[in-house]
Amino acid sequence: MEIIALTGEEYLAGQTLLIDKPLNWSSFQVVNKLRWLIRQEHKIKKIKVGHAGTLDPLATGLLLICTGKSTKTISDLQGQVKEYTGTITLGGTTPSYDLETEINETFDTSHITADLIQAVTKQFVGVIEQYPPVFSALKKDGKRLYEYARAGEEVEIKPRKIEIVEFEITNIQQHNIDFRVVCSKGTYIRSLAHDFGKALNSGAHLSKLRRTKIGNYNVDNATTIENFEENLKNV
The residues assigned a catalytic role are 56
Phi first, then psi: what are they for 95, rounded to 5°?
-60, -30
Q: Which residue type sits at 225?
A: I
CA-to-CA distance for 134 and 136, rounded, in angstroms? 6
Checking 109-117 for CB contacts under 8 A at 24+ apart, the result is: 109/175, 109/202, 111/201, 111/202, 112/200, 112/202, 114/172, 116/200, 117/169, 117/172, 117/177, 117/200
Secondary structure class of 116 (helix, strand, coil): helix
For 71-104, letters b (16+ CB in 10 Å) and e give: beebeebbebbbbbbbbbbbbbbbbbbbbbeeee
